[in-house]
Structure 1
């Protein structure tokens, strides 16, 4: 399992006072309301930032990070991944998983044949969809019990019936 969980990606700056626009990779966008600090990973640098302010615009998060006060400073952060350590992550319900833990799982059908790896998770509103890439190309698997029979994060695998 990952030590840190990706909660978003900075996609662009917002305004002239150092705010950044974040594409959230968490199911509950309001989890940002409770963030006091986070880590930013960009070009192999890992930096902790205190969160000054959080607001929302459509399906995006607008963040003001302490010490980032100009558009030019914010531009240097674009493309960076926002992370929290697992100890400060939100609690999950049974059969819920962090997207970062699902990415790169090996996917097998119920007959034990490897179909590939999960390369992305698409949030559709009603349920997530796992994007699996393998030797037969891309397969989309709805993240519901009808299709996903088993997920074992520790073993790095998922079993599906499609």
Structure 2
């Protein structure tokens, strides 16, 4: 967050796809700030959220001028949410619902979802395995099913994603490398990842 104008407004960078649900008058946020901050251990109540030139600007109770707004620079806002709540869209999940799920391949558990990485091109599931971490594109072709009730994500990864692929040698003993590149799979058509946190 950073100060905006002279009346205590704070420019907020949103990491939610549902600002109309999270940022309503009266919404209370837990603050993540340094321990030396006057706001440490306190909450912040939203008075109003406005939009200026495509940017969200929040007005908060007790933040009445720019000097006070400056004390909240780089603060992170956390919102409480019922862990059973699902996004309204079909095949959409919040990060906290995916973390901890068993990653299953061909009926065998190969690891656990450790986190979800949100990148510009696509989201990635970080799978913690016995051999280390594997980043799996969160696309329909590779992650065809998420079953929250069973606590699993089903994976159908291409060869080489979870294991080493042996190089093939030609008749002269030289290693052949396939230089053709497959097109990247399309993003998970319906899925929309939704973090549970609101940050600056």
**Bin of the TM-score, shorter chain as denominator length:** 0.5 to 0.7
Pairwise CA distance, 1:99: 3.6
* Larger Rg belongs to: 2
Equivalent positions of 1:6-25 (< 5 A) are: 11-25=1-15
Q: Which protein has the bigger helix share?
A: 1
The TM-score, its normalising length taken from structure 2, stands at 0.55
CA spacing shift, 1:112–1:81, aligned 2, 3 Å? same
Correspondence for 1:121 among 113, 118, 122? 118
Secondary structure of 2:126's partner?
Answer: strand
CA spacing shift, 1:150–1:90, aligned 2, 3 Å? closer
Q: What is the RMSD computed on CA atoms of the aligned residues?
A: 3.4
Q: Which protein has the bigger strand share?
A: 1
CA spacing shift, 1:93–1:41, aligned 2, 3 Å? same
The match for 1:5 is none
Deviations 1:75-104 (A, max 9, x none): 3333222415449x88512222224433x3
Correspondence for 2:100 among 93, 101, 105? 105
Higher relative contact order by CA 8 Å / sep ≥ 6: 1 or 2? Answer: 2
Which runs of 5 or more residues in structure 2 are unaligned?
33-39, 158-200
Equivalent positions of 1:2-151 (< 5 A) are: 11-29=1-19, 31=20, 35-43=24-32, 45-58=41-54, 60-77=55-72, 78-86=74-82, 92-102=88-98, 104-106=99-101, 108-110=103-105, 111-114=108-111, 116-122=113-119, 124=121, 128-132=122-126, 134=128, 136-137=132-133, 139-142=135-138, 144-151=139-146
In the aligned structure 2, how far is the partner of 1:90 from the partner of 1:36?
22
In the aligned structure 1, how far is the partner of 2:59 from the partner of 2:43?
15
Which runs of 5 or more residues in structure 1 are unaligned?
1-10
Pairwise CA distance, 1:49: 0.6
The match for 2:198 is none
CA spacing shift, 1:120–1:33, aligned 2, 3 Å? closer
In the aligned structure 1, how far is the partner of 2:27 from the partner of 2:69?
15
In the aligned structure 2, how far is the partner of 1:101 from the partner of 1:33?
18
Runs of 4+ in 1 over 6 A off after TM superposition: none
In the aligned structure 2, how far is the partner of 1:90 from the partner of 1:62?
27
Number of residue pairs matched by the alignment = 144
The match for 2:154 is 159
* Conserved 8 A contact 1:109-1:159: yes
